[in-house]
Amino acid sequence: MSTNNQTHQAWLPDLVYLEGRFQPDRAVVCDSAGKIERIAKSEEVPDAIRLSGRALLPGMVNAHSHAFQRMIRGRTEHRSQHSTDSFWTWREQMYAAANSLEPDDIYAVSRLAFLEMALTGITAVGEFHYLHHSRDGSPYSDPNLLEREVIRAARDVGIRIALLRVAYARAGYQTEPNPQQVRFIEDSPDVYLKNLEQLLTVKDDMAWVGVAPHSVRAVPLDYLKTIVTFANEHALPVHMHVAEQPAEVSACIAEYGRSPVSLLETEGLLSKRFTGVHAIHVTPKAIAALARGGAFVCACPTTERNLGDGVVPVDAYFDAGVRVSLGTDSQIQIDLLEDARELEYHLRLQKMERNVLSPMLAQRLFDCATVSGAASIGFDGGRIAAGAPADFFTVDLNDPSIAGAAVDDLLTNIVFSLARTAVRDVVVGGRRIVEDGKHR
């Protein structure tokens, strides 16, 4: 249909997730700019694309990804030469993989990771990218060559990307340089910001840039303050690993006399644009500080349990009003609904009780995967409403994983039981990139 010289497209499933519940007889009408123009009744759009037997939900947002780590899936699940394996021994194997990749490899593995995301209903990703240089540590003639390869991979798959360019200055406090980190290091904020500014020209509805100081152990305080100030002046999202490991907290206290979150708050670095990734080993004071700053937390529970990191205290974050997003991080499994349900399940194991994150359990978890994730990466998405980006996915209501669900408990079935193979269509910016479970 055509109105006011603009081409419109309407999608008509059996059910649409609107304002916290599934509603029948609703069509999602998209405009030529890739936005949702309106929600209409079926009789108002007789030529709508019919999606029979399907429910339509807002696209999910993966707020923390290291796409290249998709290549080591299944290759670290064995005892190393160390007597005890941990995050730190896993990191050695990850570094070895990172140092084997040429630019075309970065593109290929990123495209594979983003394709898998698309097939599971993820329509946008925050890519926490820290591979900058060639394998010997020397800069490419284009210092953002690898960043551009990652962005190209996302564009080719058809999902949105916030390229969160990582600042990495050192191996750690009073730590000798690590030769396995030579591809990451930009040892001054001036170098980092010069390279970041060249990348800021990448800005449209499908790709944009954010600032990502790796962690307090990798970025000294003066460097950290300089680049976060730049990010705030340019309204860029800021993402940072925070309190993922007890050793990181201890090192921060040794260097600054404060924990990572306390340091961030007292130095004025927390804001509504700041996302602390993991934020596991925190005190009630730290949680309150994140809440006062309006900051997000990004939990990555599949990776966190795979690495033995610990359990994110999501109940305490929710109680304090801290918004929580989700990430697939190391790509050991790409299924954001699995990450959502793990937020609850990990707490059940820890507390030996059920429904810890109630009330409105399924909705709260789904919000982590959608609206909170979108806001975390600087994007007004994760919802089905007029004016929102036309990003959504459908699920097969007859899939065995959710068959028999009533409308009132459909979201609970989707959050806690949906199989990834039940995702049938994925639309980004009004354009269908997955049809009947297959990507083009």
What's the one-letter identity of residue 26? R
**Which H, E and C letters describe 50-118, residue by residue?**
EEEEEEEEECEEEEEECHHHHHHCCCCCCCCCCCCCCHHHHHHHHHHHHCCCCHHHHHHHHHHHHHHHH
- Is 147's pLDDT higher than 90? yes
What token pair was written down for 257?
A: 């006399």
Q: What is the pLDDT of residue 5?
A: 34
Q: What is the pLDDT of residue 2?
A: 35
The yes-or-no answer on residue 156 being catalytic is: no
Q: What is the pLDDT of residue 95?
A: 83
What token pair was written down for 196?
A: 């970041």
pLDDT in tens, 71-81: 888 777 777 76
Q: What is the pLDDT of residue 98?
A: 84
Q: What is the pLDDT of residue 72?
A: 83
241 confidence band (pLDDT: 50, 70, 90): very high
pTM attached to this predicted model: 0.95
Q: Which range, of 5-14, 157-166, 270-279, 391-400, averages the lowest pLDDT?
A: 5-14
- Is 91's pLDDT higher than 80? no
88 and 224 share one domain: yes
| 222 Cβ contact list (under 8 Å, min separation 6) | 189
The yes-or-no answer on residue 329 being catalytic is: yes
299 and 241 share one domain: yes
- Is 146's pLDDT higher than 50? yes
Burial class (CB in 10 A: 0-12, 13-18, 19+), 354: exposed
357 and 418 share one domain: no
Q: Residue 52: which CATH number?
A: 2.30.40.10
Token match 């080719």: residue?
A: 156
Q: What is the pLDDT of residue 4?
A: 35
| Alpha-carbon span 371 to 37, nearest angstrom | 19
Give the range of the structural domain holding residue 176, as residue numbers without chain letter. 60-376
**Mean pLDDT value across residues 287-309:** 96
- Where is the domain boundary, 344, 376, 408? 376
- Is 3's pLDDT higher than 50? no
Q: What is the pLDDT of residue 86?
A: 75
83 confidence band (pLDDT: 50, 70, 90): low
**Mean pLDDT value across residues 127-138:** 96
410 and 360 share one domain: no
Active-site position among 309, 329, 339, 391: 329
351 and 400 share one domain: no
- Is 17's pLDDT higher than 80? yes
| Alpha-carbon span 41 to 391, nearest angstrom | 19
98 and 108 share one domain: yes
Q: What is the pLDDT of residue 97?
A: 83
331 and 389 share one domain: no
- Where is the domain boundary, 328, 360, 376? 376
Active-site position among 66, 129, 132, 278: 278
Question: Is residue 312 a contact partner of residue 280, using CB atoms and an 8 Å limit?
Answer: yes
99 and 154 share one domain: yes
245 and 393 share one domain: no
Q: What is the pLDDT of residue 376?
A: 98
| Alpha-carbon span 380 to 162, nearest angstrom | 12
Pick from 176, 57, 77: nearest CA to 121: 57
- Is 43's pLDDT higher than 90? yes
Half-sphere exposure of 202 (CA within 13 A, CB side): 26
82 confidence band (pLDDT: 50, 70, 90): low
Total residue count of the chain as it appears in this document: 440
- Where is the domain boundary, 361, 376, 391? 376
Cross-strand partners of 22: 17
DSSP 30: E
Per the prediction, the chain carries an average pLDDT of 94
**Mean pLDDT value across residues 32-60:** 97
Distance of alpha carbon 270 from its chain centroid, rounded? Answer: 19
- Is 411's pLDDT higher than 60? yes
6 confidence band (pLDDT: 50, 70, 90): very low
What's the one-letter identity of residue 422? A
283 and 370 share one domain: yes
10 and 137 share one domain: no
Cross-strand partners of 425: 394
310 and 246 share one domain: yes
